[in-house]
């Protein structure tokens, strides 16, 4: 019987051999390949492409740099404060260590004296009073020796008391020195932290400025000039006000002289303020003379002269030239003397800036000051309206 033919269709071969049967230039294959390539390309672009940050405008860079310099100024005052505290603690620790060394010498001296008494007692301790009487040259000699020993016992008690006192004092001084050393370590850590903070702010500001093109730097310089010009106009207005005030005061003085001839009141107002102003003016002259001699010297954060200054270092040095000792930082200098309004400023007064009181300058009259501005700049004269004014003081 002949074999029956199979009615099942053979399965399509989908392996590599089957794929080989398709023509490479088949329209279907070409479309599929192109579509896969497009999808892969789009996927890769979507994965790698991040939204680019818009480049800041020159105005934004200027605002950011100014803010960084202000923050650096604040950090500089923190550094100055920490350095002042560190120097103070170091002097205190050195004094305590010197005192402890002297106290140890006294303690050792007391210990040696006690040792001598102990040795003497050991040598004579085996002799009884009866034996001492029998061995004495005479009864009188025995009584003399007994009286001497009684006095030595009193001296021994005094030495023991002194030893205990010296030992307790030495222990106390060692404890104080240890505590001060710990405090000194904390101050040194604060000093290092403030230093790093200043350096970080200045580095960020330099980085922003270095990325500007020549055209952008020119635009930044133009913005700076506009700012300076606006501050200069305000200073000129204040100069006119001060000139008018002086003229009014002189006219009032002459009027009083005419109304009261021969009274000998002269330029005084009868309130005593003329005398006070003259004393202050004499000191202010020395302050301004010193400040003007520093013009052109570079700003260096943490510097107190004589070759460079930060803002509070300059004001401290200038007033020291007039015999007045100011604290180191702006935060402490603003607490010295008498507060004065901007309209009442006199040459020599200190003008403070920003809400955090991170900058200070010396008023020279006509709406201007001498100050150490910021890193990269030199000590110079400038309008007090260049920065937002916090307040002013008359140090003496």
Sign of CA dihedral 215, 220, 223, 229: negative
Query: How far is Cα 304 from Cα 112, in angstroms, rounded to an integer?
Result: 50
Burial of 270 (0-12, 13-18, 19+ CB in 10 A): exposed
Supply angle C-alpha 180, 183, 184, rounded to 5: 85
Residue 211 token pair? 């990325």
Query: How far is Cα 293 from Cα 353, in angstroms, rounded to an integer?
Result: 23
Residue 187 token pair? 């101050």
Q: Are 234 and 367 in contact (CB under 8 A)?
A: yes
Task: Out of 297, 328, 371, 394, pick the active-site residue.
Answer: 371
Catalytic, 7? Answer no
Q: Which residues pair with 299 in a beta bridge?
A: 309
Q: Which residues pair with 304 in a beta bridge?
A: 309
Cβ neighbours around 59 below 10 Å, total: 11
Give the residue among 354, 279, 349 at the shortest CA–CA distance from 318.
Answer: 349
Task: Out of 311, 317, 357, 372, pick the active-site residue.
Answer: 311
Burial of 380 (0-12, 13-18, 19+ CB in 10 A): middle
Place of tokens 């040459």: 347
- What SS3 class is residue 204? helix
Task: Out of 70, 359, 368, 374, pick the active-site residue.
Answer: 359
- What SS3 class is residue 310? coil
Query: How far is Cα 73 from Cα 298, in angstroms, rounded to an integer?
Result: 15
Report in angstroms the alpha-carbon separations of 10 from 6, 7, 13, 331. 10, 9, 9, 96
Catalytic, 371? Answer yes
Q: Are 260 and 269 in contact (CB under 8 A)?
A: no
Q: What is the dihedral of CA 72, 74, 78, 79, to 10 degrees?
A: 30
Query: How far is Cα 349 from Cα 104, in angstroms, rounded to an integer?
Result: 51
Which of the residues are catalytic?
A: 311, 359, 371
């Amino acid at each position: 019987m002949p074999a029956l033919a199979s009615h099942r269709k053979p399965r399509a071969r989908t392996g590599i051999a089957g794929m080989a049967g398709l023509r490479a230039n088949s329209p279907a294959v070409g479309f599929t390949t192109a579509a896969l390539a497009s999808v892969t390309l789009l996927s890769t672009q979507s994965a790698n492409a991040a939204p680019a940050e818009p480049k800041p405008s020159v105005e934004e860079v200027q605002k950011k740099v100014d803010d960084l310099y202000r923050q650096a100024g604040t950090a500089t005052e923190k550094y100055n404060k920490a350095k002042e505290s560190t120097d103070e603690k170091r002097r205190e620790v050195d004094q305590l260590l010197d005192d402890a060394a002297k106290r140890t010498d006294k303690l050792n001296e007391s210990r040696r004296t006690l040792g001598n008494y102990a040795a003497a007692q050991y040598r004579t301790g085996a002799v009884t009073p009866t034996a001492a009487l029998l061995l004495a040259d005479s009864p009188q000699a025995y009584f003399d020796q007994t009286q001497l020993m009684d006095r030595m016992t009193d001296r021994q008690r005094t030495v023991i008391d002194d030893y205990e006192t010296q030992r307790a004092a030495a222990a106390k001084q060692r404890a104080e020195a240890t505590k001060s050393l710990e405090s000194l370590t904390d101050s040194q850590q604060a000093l290092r932290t403030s230093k790093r903070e200043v350096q970080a702010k200045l580095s960020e500001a330099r980085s922003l400025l270095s990325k500007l093109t020549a055209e952008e730097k020119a635009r930044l310089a133009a913005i700076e000039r506009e700012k300076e010009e606006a501050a200069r106009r305000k200073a000129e207005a204040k100069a006119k006000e001060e000139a008018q005030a002086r003229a009014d005061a002189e006219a009032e003085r002459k009027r009083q002289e005419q109304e009261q001839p021969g009274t000998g009141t002269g330029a005084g107002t009868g309130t005593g303020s003329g005398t006070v102003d003259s004393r202050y003016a004499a000191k202010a002259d020395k302050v301004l003379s010193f400040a003007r001699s520093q013009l052109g010297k570079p700003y260096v954060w943490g510097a107190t002269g004589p070759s460079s200054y930060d803002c509070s270092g300059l004001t401290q040095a200038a007033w020291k030239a007039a015999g007045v000792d100011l604290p180191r930082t702006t935060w402490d200098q603003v607490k010295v003397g008498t507060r004065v309004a901007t309209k009442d400023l006199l040459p020599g007064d200190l003008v403070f800036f920003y809400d955090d009181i991170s900058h200070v300058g010396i008023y020279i009259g006509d709406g201007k000051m001498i100050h150490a501005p910021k890193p990269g700049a030199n000590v110079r004269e400038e309008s007090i309206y260049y920065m937002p004014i916090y307040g002013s003081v008359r140090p003496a």
